Amino acid sequence: MKRTFWLKVIMSSVVFCFGIGSFAFAATLVIKGSTTVLPIAQKAAEDFMKMNPDINISVSGGGSGNGIKAIIDGTTDIANASRFIKDKEIKLAMEKEVLPVPHRVALDCVIPVVHPVNHLKDITMDQLKDIYTGKIKRWKELGGADKPIVVISRDTSSGTYEVWHKKVLKKERVTPKALLQASNGAVAQIVAKNKYAIGYIGIGYLNKDVKALKVNNVEASVTTALNGTYPVSRALFMFTNGWPKGDVISFINFVLSPAGQKMVKEEGYVPLYPVD
């Protein structure tokens, strides 16, 4: 009886140890940051884990600023960013002996969008600036209805906001009447429900519920992003602390591979080079 009892204890301990060992050796990658890059990271993580079942990947948004902060604080392996790192962020990283290394993974266009019933098809950079700084307040000033323009913008932790602020607003302050949103998806949803709203989103978030506007008579597309003729085009990044190794470099190499860049295209973004 005692012999049987201790045999069960020993067998349970062996099973427990093997279970712990399996868990301990399961690698986990953490990816945080830009909501623009989020769909790319999520799809890449899904495909990468299918090819590498022993690797777990956690992906979350929060904005480019929060992603870069996380790489500096050591709470993420990869920081997604829809803008380049700022000088003040580099300084903070150096103080903490962190070396943020950028990896360009895709291209993007930041596109002004309106409700599908809006008559507008094309808008100039000057008009966008005047709308977002509050100088143009009503749609009739653009040939539309005598209704106030509902300005939708991103919050300041967003890389999309940073690009818009630099390229469109020329670093002037956005109107205090603007409704600030935390993600591309939230902007798209609000514009889709308000026929007097205008917002801006990354090309990967375009859908049938919103209408994309040409800017300076240039349509956002793969071609205009690659040749730089679209006025609000940009690169999308994944940052690492130092040159990546192990599973981190394997993941980034996958995103940059033909299979990864094809996935970038399928998600609605612009690949770095032509893919089938």
Compute the chain's Rg from CA coordinates.
Answer: 23
Coil, helix or strand for 168? coil
- Listed residue (136, 195, 132) closest to 169, CA to CA: 132
Q: Quick check: 17 pLDDT over 80?
A: no
pLDDT digits (tens, 9 = 90+) for 214-265: 999 999 999 999 999 999 999 999 999 999 999 999 999 999 999 999 999 9
Alpha helices by DSSP H, 52-198? 64-73, 87-95, 125-133, 159-167, 184-193
C-alpha span between 186 and 189 (Å, rounded): 5
Task: Please count the CA atoms within 13 angstroms of the CA of 215 that sit on its side-chain side.
Answer: 26
Q: Are 31 and 57 in contact (CB under 8 A)?
A: yes
C-alpha span between 81 and 269 (Å, rounded): 14
Mean pLDDT for the stretch of residues 42-51 = 97
Fold of 108-233: D-Maltodextrin-Binding Protein; domain 2 (3.40.190)
* Residues β-bridged to residue 151: 198
Mean pLDDT for the stretch of residues 165-190 = 96
What pTM value is reported for the model?
Answer: 0.84
C-alpha span between 133 and 138 (Å, rounded): 13
Note the pLDDT of residue 26: 58
Note the pLDDT of residue 88: 97
Note the pLDDT of residue 126: 98
Task: Write the single-letter amino acid at 82.
Answer: S
**Domain ranges across the chain:** 28-107+236-266, 108-233
Using DSSP bridges, classify how beta strands 214-215 and 27-33 pair: parallel, antiparallel or unpaired. Answer: unpaired
| Class of domain 28-107+236-266 as given by CATH | alpha beta
pLDDT digits (tens, 9 = 90+) for 186-209: 999 999 999 999 999 999 999 999
Same fold, 28-107+236-266 and 108-233: yes
